[in-house]
Chains A and B, each alone.
Chain A
Amino acid sequence: EPEVTQTPSHQVTQMGQEVILRCVPISNHLYFYWYRQILGQKVEFLVSFYNNEISEKSEIFDDQFSVERPDGSNFTLKIRSTKLEDSAMYFCASSSLTGGGTEAFFGQGTRLTVV
């Protein structure tokens, strides 16, 4: 069964460093998303991406964040200068369509720890 894969599963970084989280969406999907979940809190939408551009972003997704689809298979989230409060699980998701009747599938997440 096709699945969304994320690497690494766990990343530890020093405050102020740049990190890149990687995702391989399901191969025929066209819409890509990043979410995050701070420990003990709910899953929060960060950004949606389609046709090589951001289609929507939340207020969390400030100038420190960027997304890219560098090739035909990867979808990345970059955090330019990490802060302690960026420590969270980051989930990538993809879907074949948007709209009310289409499901999105999530990866298993990357646990980012900023020290």
Chain B
Amino acid sequence: DAKTTQPPSMDCAEGRAANLPCNHSTISGNEYVYWYRQIHSQGPQYIIHGLKNNETNEMASLIITEDRKSSTLILPHATLRDTAVYYCIVRGSGNTGKLIFGQGTTLQVKP
């Protein structure tokens, strides 16, 4: 599974969009990009995933560049409850299903 690179921390004003970047320059054609978050020490929470098309659900949008070497998770209207560590993970189809977590990005939403 390809490695990912994320900034260690970001701030966002409450009510504004939070854009969290992720680089995965070694991603291969059958690997998906996943986003999870962890609020304090709770269990990681699934947010969204995608292969090459942009995806949107009730939580967030995922924008994947055309070359698939990077992606951005967008929380359209961040709230204080979105303060968490956000993990970008690449996982391939041949994988047993395990997720390899990095250090993630700590997003601080400020009033």
Contacts and interface: CB of A to CB of B under 8 A. Distances in A.
Given A42-B103, A43-B38, A98 B95 contact: yes
Contacts of A103: 34, 46, 49
Which size class do B's interface residues fall under? 20 to 34
B80 interface: no
Given A98-B95, A100-B31, A106 B45 contact: yes
Contact of A102 (B31, B42, B97): B97
Contacts, number: 75
A68 interface: no
A91 B97 CA distance: 15
Given A100-B51, A101-B32, A106-B44, A56 B98 contact: yes
A100 B92 contact: yes
Contacts of B31: 100
A34 to B, nearest CB: 10
B100 A45 contact: yes
B97 A48 contact: yes
A49 B22 CA distance: 29
Interface string B87-103: 10001110111111111
B30 A100 contact: yes
Interface string A23-35: 0000000010101
The 7 closest A-B pairs by CB, nearest first: A106-B43, A98-B97, A100-B32, A100-B93, A43-B101, A56-B96, A45-B98
